[in-house]
Amino acid sequence: MKISSEEYYSDSEWKLFKQEAAKYQTPFLLVNLDIVKKSYQEVEKFFPFSDVYYAVKANPASEIITLLDSLGCNFDIASIYEMESVLACGVKPDKISFGNTIKKLSDIRLAYSKGLRLFATDSEDDLRSIAAAAPGSNIYVRILTEGTATADWPLSRKFGCHPDMATDLLLLARKLKLNPYGVSFHVGSQQRDVGTWDTAISITKYIFDYMADEGINLEMINLGGGLPANYISQTNPLEVYASEIKRYLEEDFGENMPRIIMEPGRSLVGNAGVLISEVVTVARKSRVAVDRWIFLDAGKFNGLVETWDECIKYPLVCEKADFTCEDGVLAGPTCDSQDIMYEHYRYRIPVNLCPGDRIYWLTAGAYTASYASVDFNGFPPLKTHFIGE
């Protein structure tokens, strides 16, 4: 498979990436903030019916937080540490949702003391902690959803609860003097099947009706994340997701549309980043080996963790890509044998690629730098450089 940067970036964007990349030693991530801005504006344009809460975990860099804040974005945080970073960027606490359902009592207390009033939950333990440490707060319950078969980085049963328990929790929230505010779900990251939102929205509608019968008027649906970035696997364009999701919502809620929020992460910052690596060694394992092993200075433990099980297939652009290509195995620089990015899925690699040549990992802005190991095999975490804005 021959990959061209043109399918992913405009000429001027790609030229700027290449030009800026030349200034730094590999490996590093280069994020173009103008592309983040463009992505945010696209989401705003296609989803005018929804408030946007950026999933900070996708890329917690303060440059991105500050930019998105200036554009009017809200923030979904996974921990008190993310909360502190976001607040340190000047974000107001009423623009922050604590989206992780796994929270220590002390964490909730800290969040509440900083002004947060919107919390996700999916268990009685957690709900009681919120009631104790964040009285009167707005609660949304996360429900379990299906759809993992069509998500490239699937979600498991770790988060969410069955609808029967969701209704129990919302009733308990009222009893505990919290505000039962809404329902959330997450259809899986890099979800390629728009239809998975339909099912989740239908279940949500059922919960809204059930709660109305109990005298509780839920006000909000959190559509979660899952919108795609541009990797190798084909997805629908963003506007198709938008129009389909809008249709599902209208079919179920009609004139009584609740407040809609969503938590894009990957789709806001994925495309904005290119990870630049260098070939360290090219090797064959025997005199007549068919396979060529391409060892890079970036690997699973310093930025490319989403290649685990070869889940995310990044578009790769090689120097010398105009030459004859053949299949190659791509591996990282550590002594760990698990540090192989692609062995089963074969990329086409120029036959004359050699140590010092660069390989560009497109659409690498999400779930790369912050995932990197702190010190594995001594390699430092992946650096990020910024362009634009």
161 binds its own copies (CB under 8 A): yes
Report the distance separating Cα 209 and Cα 206, nearest Å.
5
- Is 235 or 384 the residue whose CB approaches its own copies more closely? 384
- Is 193 or 291 the residue whose CB approaches its own copies more closely? 291
**Strand runs labelled E in 58-123:** 74-77, 96-98, 118-121
- Report the nearest approach of its own copies to the CB of residue 314 (Å): 18
> Nearest 5°: CA angle at 103, between 98 and 106?
105
Among 9, 46, 159, 342, the residue binding its own copies under the rule CB under 8 A is: 159
Instruction: Give CA separation, 330 vs 289, 340, 348, 378, in Å.
Output: 15, 6, 10, 21
Instruction: Give CA separation, 156 vs 148, 151, 160, 186, 210, in Å.
Output: 7, 11, 10, 10, 26
Tokens of 121: 């939950």
- Report the nearest approach of its own copies to the CB of residue 374 (Å): 4
Site for its own copies in 241-260 (CB under 8 A): none
Tokens of 242: 């938008």
Backbone φ and ψ of 241, nearest 5°: -55, -50
For residue 359, is it left (φ>0), alpha (ψ between -120 and 50) or beta?
Answer: beta
- Is 8 or 295 the residue whose CB approaches its own copies more closely? 295
Tokens of 301: 């433990």
The stretch among 40-48, 161-169, 195-203, 206-214 that binds its own copies (CB under 8 A) is 161-169
164 binds its own copies (CB under 8 A): yes
- Is 236 or 334 the residue whose CB approaches its own copies more closely? 334
- Is 153 or 361 the residue whose CB approaches its own copies more closely? 153
Site for its own copies in 63-82 (CB under 8 A): 77-82
- Is 77 or 200 the residue whose CB approaches its own copies more closely? 77
Contact indicator for 193, 150 with CB cutoff of 8 Å:
yes
Among 258, 376, 387, 388, the residue binding its own copies under the rule CB under 8 A is: 376
- Report the nearest approach of its own copies to the CB of residue 289 (Å): 7
Among 95, 103, 313, 358, the residue binding its own copies under the rule CB under 8 A is: 103
- Report the nearest approach of its own copies to the CB of residue 243 (Å): 28
- Report the nearest approach of its own copies to the CB of residue 369 (Å): 8
Q: How many CB atoms lie within 10 A of CB 188?
A: 23
Does the bond joining 27 to the residue before it have cis omega, within 30 degrees of 0?
Answer: yes
With H, G, I as helix, E, B as strand and everything else as coil, classify residue 212: helix
93 binds its own copies (CB under 8 A): no
Binding mask 170-209 for its own copies (x = CB under 8 A): ----------------------------------------
Q: Measuring CA to CA, which residue among 262, 341, 342 is closest to residue 302?
A: 341
Binding mask 30-69 for its own copies (x = CB under 8 A): -------------------------xxx--x---------
For residue 226, is it left (φ>0), alpha (ψ between -120 and 50) or beta?
Answer: left
Site for its own copies in 330-359 (CB under 8 A): 331, 333-340, 343, 354-355
Report the distance separating Cα 137 and Cα 118, nearest Å.
6
CA 21 to chain centre: 24
Site for its own copies in 107-146 (CB under 8 A): 122-126, 129, 144
Binding mask 282-321 for its own copies (x = CB under 8 A): xxxxxx-x---x-x-x---x------x-------------
- Report the nearest approach of its own copies to the CB of residue 307 (Å): 13
